[in-house]
Amino acid sequence: MAIEGAFLSWQAARLGNAEGRAWSIELGRRNAEIQQALAEDAKLDALFAAAGLALAQLFAEARARGLPGSGLPEELVAGYRVLALLYAHVP
């Protein structure tokens, strides 16, 4: 997985090149949630809100393209992992 910044994108995230299970992800720098998450003084809730939104958009786009590994079970596992990180870092 490669993560890049899309400076002109209002979406939280979008897929760049995708070869099999290797996805290139572009974070939308104009999206309010992404901007809050990338701020130096970002709060944990802003980070995880942006991650959840980006995840949902990425998997929706991947399913629309018919990419392998983009099914609902894979999205649920990825969402669960983000939640596990949240619970591990929030007091």
The domain spans of the chain are 2-89
Question: What's the pLDDT score for residue 21?
Answer: 66
Radius of gyration of the chain (CA): 13
Contact at 8 Å (CB) between 69 and 54?
Answer: no
Q: What is the mean pLDDT of each run of 10 residues along the chain (91 residues)?
A: 50 75 77 84 86 89 89 92 85 73
Predicted structure pTM score = 0.76
SS (H, E, C) the chain: CEEEEECCCCCCEEEEEEECCEEEEEEECCCHHHHHHHCCCCCHHHHHHHHHHHHHHHHHHHHHHCCCCCCHHHHHHHHHHHHHHHHHHCC
